[in-house]
Structure 1
Amino acid sequence: MSFIGLYPEKLISHIFQPTTLASFDSLRKNSRLDFRRELFQLNESVRLECPDYNGCFLPDNFLKSISKNHEIFGRLPDVKSPFNSISQRNTMFFEVVQNLNKLFKNKNKYLIDFLLPHFQTADIEIRLDVEGEAVPCDLWRSSPTKTVENPITDCYLTDLLLHLANGNSFQRIAVVLFGPNCYCRIYDPEKGGLSYHLLGLHQTKLRQLEKKGFKVVKIPFFELPGGPDQLNYLQQKIFKSQSKH
């Protein structure tokens, strides 16, 4: 039900009751049916989509009791080599990151992170200023931080002051890649081919990213071009999204 935005409060509160959680834990130990990932996803989804909900949640120490190797914790994609993974999405990720480096001239203007940690898949965040220019990650903060790689220079401070003068009103862009496993494929006799329908889990992710203030740029596998056309495609998708905001 959560995939279509339905959250029955009484049912959710019952699921997160200590006695019910104890039953889930017993089930995991006795039959190896582990629902902790689903419970975490539901817990965080309720926090995002049901601000008026005042029932039970997972205990605060829930994640601390889970091994770091558990599937509940996502893994960042390998963007150094496309050959270390059989996942088509990871291969897409590698290609997109390579082209983002070209687009931004290898400057640190994007971040690969778990924008919604309860979905276990990383996405790409970019921030655009009021003029539609990509903002270096170091300027996302309201105050400068000196590092070995990014010493505070006059140019750096000038850029920071310009962004602060504009109210630091950055447009947050979430670039989300969808591989083949994200879709239900249905044969369309009228078109004589397949039509792709995004699965409910991923539709929920898009909805929640928007609730967090992101402008979502969707990159489906069947739309992403290869070769030199990909750079122009990404440029159009990312910067066109800002003009629609």
Structure 2
Amino acid sequence: VSATKPLMEAKLSSEFCTLTIGELGSVCQSYFKCQQRIELKELLHQLANVLVQSLPRVDSFVVCAIVKQLRYSASAKEAVPWKIVLGACEPHISRWDAPTAIQLVMLATHVKSYHPRLLDAVARHLITKLNAIRLKEVAKLLLTLTMFSHEIENESQFYDTIKSDLRSPSRKREIEMYHQSFVTCVWCLAMAGMYSADLIAAALSEDMVRNSVKHQDISYHATALQYSVRIESPTYDGPFLGQQVLDSLYSTRHLTTRCPDWTMQDLSLQEKIILQTLDCLQTKYGSAPVIRQLLPHFHYPDIVFGVQIANTDITLLQLELCSEDGVLVPQSSSGAVPCAVVVHGLGAFSEGSQHLMGLAKVKVRQLRTLGFRVVELSHFELSCMSSNFYIQDKLLAACTTSLPKL
């Protein structure tokens, strides 16, 4: 297949105008079933363009097939064609079935392209037929809303409907079969600040989680849910996952964390940005700032220190930390204001914008809940760090203003 694929894609591209939109949908469906990406960019652009031009008359099957293959083949680095597709599809959402609507939000998620009106339209369309939608599609919708930290219309009513659906006896068998999707749903509700004890207890059932560890998402979502409950819902008195189950989850690729330093050979771009920020802080304030993995359910660590302020003079001190259920929290006896610098890299923003993604917002919220004053620094602010007063003003603002309501 690999030898003939370039020839086949070139032939499809050259004969593109002779094919109907329905035939193109069938081609995309075949590619997807064979788990083959379309490598020829010109062909992908042709598919995107013909889909947009055909939207007034195209049906769910064709839209779903083409969008699914675009998602499978598309690169987030080249987001413009996919943004055009997503924007053009938004007015037609109500005509299509649930799988098609879900494929559209999954394409948005894949290329990290934030379309508020599209998300509103999909949520509005699917909430009216929730009992006919598969659990994994509910999970994918919630995951997209969480990823973009999107505040939907009638948010309270929307999430109440979701929670009622998850509690419905009609979902019981599906939850048993696809527990990883249920865990994802409950984790997404937690990320939105909604902690329901009965749903959490069901999601953190050890027997169910053990049977789901081979599924791609269960490791991160189950572990992140457990830590998030301990941080943000201290009154919860239901079951938690035992250490043996947690250890089995940590063995997967979703929870590989480390505190970087310049001696490492395989530093990611985000790790380099964190280290550059640390260098700037240590140059100005000494060796007190250090990198620590405060929250084990987030991939990248943060920079921590204590702050003492006299008038406008700032002194940074080493911060004493202690572990509580695997989370590092500041020691109240240190005498300094506990501070954490969260560095938002390129991955913390939606493509081509400064819209901060959901996980980055949740991280800041949870650190504040633990008692840290949080300084948020974006990757594009790194050049400002050399200014004498830039970071000083940030520290003063974080440590002297009232904490925002959580």
TM-score (norm 1): 0.71
- Is 2:304 the counterpart of 1:116? no
How far, CA to CA, are the matches of 2:248 and 2:241 in structure 1? 12
1:197-228 residue CA offsets vs partner (Å, 9 max, x unmatched): 21111111111000000111000123332573
2:366 aligned to which of 208, 215, 226: 208
Residue of structure 2 in register with 1:35 after alignment: 218
Structure with bigger helix share is 2
How far, CA to CA, are the matches of 1:177 and 1:122 in structure 2? 9
How far, CA to CA, are the matches of 1:118 and 1:2 in structure 2? 14
1:51 aligned to which of 222, 229, 234: 234
Residue of structure 2 in register with 1:183 after alignment: 349
1:61-113 residue CA offsets vs partner (Å, 9 max, x unmatched): 333345667441412233457x84342x2232122122122112xx3311210
1:112-132 residue CA offsets vs partner (Å, 9 max, x unmatched): 101111112100001013536
Contact 1:74 1:117 in 2 (8 A): yes
Residue of structure 2 in register with 1:198 after alignment: 356
Residue of structure 1 in register with 2:172 after alignment: none
Contact 1:128 1:172 in 2 (8 A): yes
2:396 aligned to which of 216, 228, 239: 239
TM-score (norm 2): 0.45
Contact 2:293 2:301 in 1 (8 A): yes
How far, CA to CA, are the matches of 1:67 and 1:206 in structure 2? 23
How far, CA to CA, are the matches of 1:134 and 1:220 in structure 2? 23
- Is 2:281 the counterpart of 1:103? no
How far, CA to CA, are the matches of 1:110 and 1:42 in structure 2? 29
Larger radius of gyration: 2
Q: How far did residue 33 of structure 1 move? A: 2.7
Contact 2:278 2:289 in 1 (8 A): no
**CA 1:41–1:69 in 2, change beyond 3 Å: closer, same or farther?**
closer
Contact 2:201 2:239 in 1 (8 A): yes
- Secondary structure of residue in 2 paired with 1:217: strand
CA-based RMSD of the aligned residues comes to: 2.7
In structure 2, list runs of 5 or more residues that go unmatched: 1-188, 322-332
Name the % identity.
Answer: 26
Q: Which amino acid aligns with 2:244?
A: N
**CA 1:179–1:74 in 2, change beyond 3 Å: closer, same or farther?**
same
1:164-201 residue CA offsets vs partner (Å, 9 max, x unmatched): xxx7431011100001111124xxxxxxxx64221111
1:76 aligned to which of 259, 275, 300: 259
**CA 1:79–1:6 in 2, change beyond 3 Å: closer, same or farther?**
farther
- Secondary structure of residue in 1 paired with 2:305: strand
**CA 1:42–1:244 in 2, change beyond 3 Å: closer, same or farther?**
same
How far, CA to CA, are the matches of 1:135 and 1:183 in structure 2? 29
How far, CA to CA, are the matches of 1:22 and 1:66 in structure 2? 9
How far, CA to CA, are the matches of 1:84 and 1:14 in structure 2? 39
1:7 aligned to which of 187, 191, 195: 195
Contact 1:113 1:124 in 2 (8 A): yes
- Is 2:292 the counterpart of 1:134? no
How far, CA to CA, are the matches of 1:184 and 1:95 in structure 2? 23
1:5-44 residue CA offsets vs partner (Å, 9 max, x unmatched): 112222211111133113213xx1xxx5352122111000
Contact 1:177 1:218 in 2 (8 A): yes
In structure 1, list runs of 5 or more residues that go unmatched: 142-166, 186-193
How far, CA to CA, are the matches of 2:257 and 2:362 in structure 1? 17
- Secondary structure of residue in 2 paired with 1:58: coil
Point out 4+ residue stretches in structure 1 off by more than 6 angstroms: none
